[in-house]
Amino acid sequence: MKEFFSNLKKAWIYGKGQKKYIIGYIIFNIIFIFINLFVPILSAKAIVELTNNKLAQVVSIGFIIFIVETLRNFANYITSYFRQQIYRETYSKIETTLGAEILRIENQSLDEKGTGLFIQRLTNDASKIADIFVVLNIYLTNILTDIGIFLAIFIINKIVFFYLIVMVCTIFVVEKKRTNTLNAKDKIYRKKSEKVSGFISELVRGAHDIKMLNAENSFIKELDSKIIDLNNEKYKMDGTNRNYLLLSSTITDIFDTGNILLCVFLITQNLLSIPNALVINNYLSRLTSIIYFASQLLEKVKDFNLSSERVLAIMDGEEFGKETFGKKHLGKANGDFEFKNVTFTYKNGHKVIDNMNFKIKANSTVAFVGKSGSGKTTVFNLLCKMYDIDSGKITIDGIDIKELDKDSIRGNITIISQNPYIFNMSIRDNLRLVKENLTEEEMIEACRTACLEDFIKSLPDGYDTVIGEGGINLSGGERQRLAIARALVQKTEIILFDEATSALDNETQANIKKAIDNMKNEYTILIIAHRLSTVIDCDRILFLDEGKIKAEGTHKELLSNCKNYRSLYEAELKNNK
């Protein structure tokens, strides 16, 4: 229980804002408890009066029961309202906080763990944590009601009371064993569930490519295999649960029968009156439920602890490293930056950048070229501080990026990838994501510079056109140009193009190149190029190989003094023919 109270204290951060609802919930639950204690007594009294043929008293008692039941229903209605409010607000806070924490996790951890893990913890586990405040009230209310019933039976007859205590303890031992067994199995089930969620997420995101590869059957078979494995685990859990519930029910039935025989014996010995026996009988169904409520509470506590463990691992655990930034604020950068003896190795031990050195001047256009795996994209990721370097220094305007806060780095850099993600909203809203107070003039100017304005004008709804998830309703070139417009709206001083034209046709590539040319001398532009023909006009070209800069210069200079660059260019010319 120490672990539970520790986790509950941490979860209270998200629930304490609902104090008024929690207090209201407790007050109406107390009312609910007293009514539940009162109704069985009235029912027993009505039966006794009926057996004595006192019909007028039976009618009066029936009317009182109606009023009491109405009050109970009203109290239950109010508690349900408070319960929903507590859950909704707490769940929203946990999800929002957890979502923010996921965005702070180091990219290497995100890459390594996969999406399924985070989706499960963001939805399923967050829900279970938010539910604990409601669950505690529900089960504690029922347990307190049952304790009140036990006290009433103790007053009525101590022999029956101790008999029922033995019954409760026996069933509780079985229930405790059941919850412990199920908790161990649930850990395995959740891990498998994460894998299924991750695979489904990949299947949905990659549906287009799966169709193009004609690989639907392979993916469906793999999905079916994973789901069967998950369902088998669930089947084992349900089977274990059924076995224990059958045992509990059998024990309860035996004790119920014994209670009837005990009451008959006590009545014959004048140790128990018939009205009191009726009261005990009315209470009996509630008493057997105390085991259910206690075991369910124990199960919910263990469930809560497991969910807390998984969520807290993201919040502050060592399993997921968090991005760290400095406190120095740069404001608007000039656009100068430098790599000084930079080395970087991925967690799998693969060294990608090896003692790299170069300088980039503000408002210049520089290209990075080289074979796949030479470290080009990694340079961009390191500049944006997506990963932390092993050694060396990266500076923006002469300041080590380790000293700069997040906004100083990512607020001054925009990266446009080969497959930029466009959100399922209008063009206008996609642009406003990076600048909420975007004016109409700024939006039009950005789209004009990105060579996108004419296309938008051709759309029936113009800037209010919804473009589908991932920009599915746009061509590759249109997505690229919208991403460029989004970068221009953000007005960062450094714009990075990560093979932004590699998969485009010549005409679209020319449009993208024109958009880039429109930005020259106003921004620091870095380009990773697959096609060397797109970067021949750059101020400088850096040739990378095995994580090092092997040569640098203009296109003409590299043709003269870099054999590998010349070979790449000649191969491209040959392929174009």
Average pLDDT per 10 consecutive residues for the chain, totaling 577 residues: 75 76 82 74 69 75 82 84 82 81 79 72 79 74 75 84 87 83 83 80 68 70 85 88 86 86 89 80 70 74 81 75 87 89 88 92 90 87 90 93 90 80 84 85 87 88 82 78 82 80 61 71 84 84 90 90 87 73
What's the confidence (pLDDT) of residue 505?
59
pLDDT at position 540: 92
CB atoms within 10 A of CB 564: 15
Please provide the DSSP assignment of 83-134 as one string: HHHHHHHHHHHHHHHHHHHHHHB-HHHHHHH-HHHHHHIIIIIHHHHHHHHH
CA distance 327 to 499: 32
pLDDT, position 89 = 81
Question: E strand or H helix at 490, and its extent?
Answer: helix 476-490
Same fold, 18-316 and 418-491: no
**Could you count the other beta carbons within 10 Å of the beta carbon of residue 39?**
16
The dotted CATH code for 18-316 is: 1.20.1560.10
Question: Distance between CA 355 and CA 357 in Å, rounded?
Answer: 7
Residue 451: count other Cβ atoms within 10 Å of its Cβ: 23
Q: Which amino acid is at 252?
A: T
Domain 332-412+496-501+520-577: what homologous superfamily? Answer: P-loop containing nucleotide triphosphate hydrolases (3.40.50.300)
Domains of the chain, residue spans: 18-316, 332-412+496-501+520-577, 418-491
What whole-number distance in Å separates Cα of residue 21 and Cα of residue 239? 39
Structure tokens at 211: 């169709």
Question: Tell me, which fold does domain 418-491 have in CATH?
Answer: Rossmann fold (3.40.50)
Q: Which two tokens stand for residue 324?
A: 């760290």
CB hemisphere CA count around 536 (13 angstroms): 10
Q: What confidence score (pLDDT) does residue 231 get?
A: 87
CB distance 149 to 287 below 8 Å: yes
Q: Position of tokens 């060397």?
A: 532
Q: Is 392 left (phi over 0), alpha (psi -120 to 50) or beta?
A: left
Q: How far is CA 249 from CA 176, 242, 289, 292, in A?
A: 15, 10, 11, 11
Residue-level pLDDT at 389: 92
